[in-house]
Structure 1
């Protein structure tokens, strides 16, 4: 899917997802969400487009689609766009909690960077890192379209700040990606601004940590600088 063929391809995918109206467990819809999320995280440059697609999908979801295992507080089946959003958020949460702490393996002593980058372990870790950062950006784009609540985004920050001693590379990279994606939006809300102030106090603590790699320090310092431009 690209911006040029967005209308055509998105229509075809919506037709496939609509087959869930003949099901009782929403399995086709769940498969469509899974595959599309995988594409969104693999192709981070297109995150805004995939988020837009999910917005269109949620708003046009057939209200007769239901999952008999999912009910609301009143005991009614969750259907249509609400069911779609529930599936999507569950998928994003599972991926976020499962796959965001994968770092490249340490380079064996005496091995050059070029050789290390050719190893299967490095390739797997690099692919996981790409998907992790792609997922972070995608979740941020969903928030900007109102599909993910501000509360959920603060839960993501809480998860990222839940580290001991020196933050891992994955934590810093994910944090910077999330702030670059939604920082300006959060700073523009009444509840978001105080939380952002607290986050940047934590970030300064990370920057000041004597054992944090210089590359990660500069990454965090760059985000601090960027914030002064969006405020």
Structure 2
């Protein structure tokens, strides 16, 4: 049976799927919510995205509305975050479902330990964004302080295949997730600029340089060309920021002792920007 078709028949009662899965059953009996959320994320595809996102929102609304500490929403935030960082093919979908949840979950979901500037309890989409941004900041600050050994003698060109040491796959998944969240306007210009600036402040670290390349490969077009920033009054700030990034990149390209692999990737990034962020057909 096709997994997608099978799940469609169970999408309104995902517990059936959990209890039918022998690998999940024992864990589900102890704490069903994390396991049920994992099942939703496991079977979500671009094809069934609309239906699945509705079911996830319904699940969160039903199971979290009577909580005073946002437990179920916290669980969902951590699980979708970790799946996106560990499965790079899921990052774009993780950003999409995050945006959908921020727009649509019930304001009945609240956390009495988290307050807005008004003094009211944070709730609904605002609460989810606070959870997500807090987790993102914690993981970014932790990851940027831990450099990764550089692979020696690698001939591979993409960040995922050329960084196989422990921790690198998760880190580059995090970078990709941040870029995808920025593309769907879940991160502000200020946050994106802070991320790239902190990476380039550590330009002696190959990991940080490559991370800035990955971020801009994904989100450079949205950063430089989205009308959103001009509408919000950030047009000149964006222009200044982009010039600063590429001035740093050029200075690295011009360094005789700079890593040849990263020099090549930076040159490709410069060409990508010069072509208005449109990738040439392979």
Same fold per superposition (TM over 0.5): yes
List alignment gaps of at least 5 residues for structure 1.
114-123
Identify the match of residue 133 of structure 2 among 77, 83, 89.
89
**SS of residue matched to 2:114:** strand
- Tell me the TM-score normalised to structure 2 length: 0.70
**SS of residue matched to 1:186:** helix
Q: Is 138-147 or 23-32 further displaced after alignment?
A: 138-147
Q: State whether structure 2 residue 174 is matched by structure 1 residue 135.
A: yes
Mapped partners of 2:272, 2:121: distance in 1:
45
Matching residue of 2:209: 172
Matching residue of 1:117: none
Matching residue of 2:201: 162
Q: State whether structure 2 residue 72 is matched by structure 1 residue 28.
A: yes
Q: Is 96-105 or 198-207 further displaced after alignment?
A: 96-105
**SS of residue matched to 1:161:** helix
Contact conserved, 2:147 with 2:205, CA < 8 A, in 1? Answer: no
Matching residue of 1:150: 189
How much does 1:206 deviate?
Answer: 1.5
Q: Is 41-50 or 84-93 further displaced after alignment?
A: 41-50
Contact conserved, 2:83 with 2:90, CA < 8 A, in 1? Answer: no
**Higher RCO (Cα < 8 Å, 6 or more apart):** 1
Contact conserved, 2:96 with 2:184, CA < 8 A, in 1? Answer: yes
Q: State whether structure 2 residue 255 is matched by structure 1 residue 222.
A: no
Mapped partners of 2:59, 2:141: distance in 1:
29
Matches within 5 A, 1:189-204: 189=229, 190=235, 191-204=237-250
How much does 1:133 deviate?
Answer: 1.5
Equivalenced residue count is 215
Q: Which runs of 4+ in 1 moved over 6 A?
A: none
**SS of residue matched to 1:126:** coil
**SS of residue matched to 1:22:** coil
Contact conserved, 1:186 with 1:193, CA < 8 A, in 2? Answer: no
Mapped partners of 1:5, 1:95: distance in 2:
30
Q: State whether structure 2 residue 113 is matched by structure 1 residue 76.
A: no
Mapped partners of 1:135, 1:223: distance in 2:
20
Identify the match of residue 50 of structure 1 among 77, 85, 94.
94
Matching residue of 2:251: 205
How much does 1:127 deviate?
Answer: 4.9
RMSD over aligned CA atoms reads 2.2
List alignment gaps of at least 5 residues for structure 2.
1-43, 155-162, 230-234, 278-282
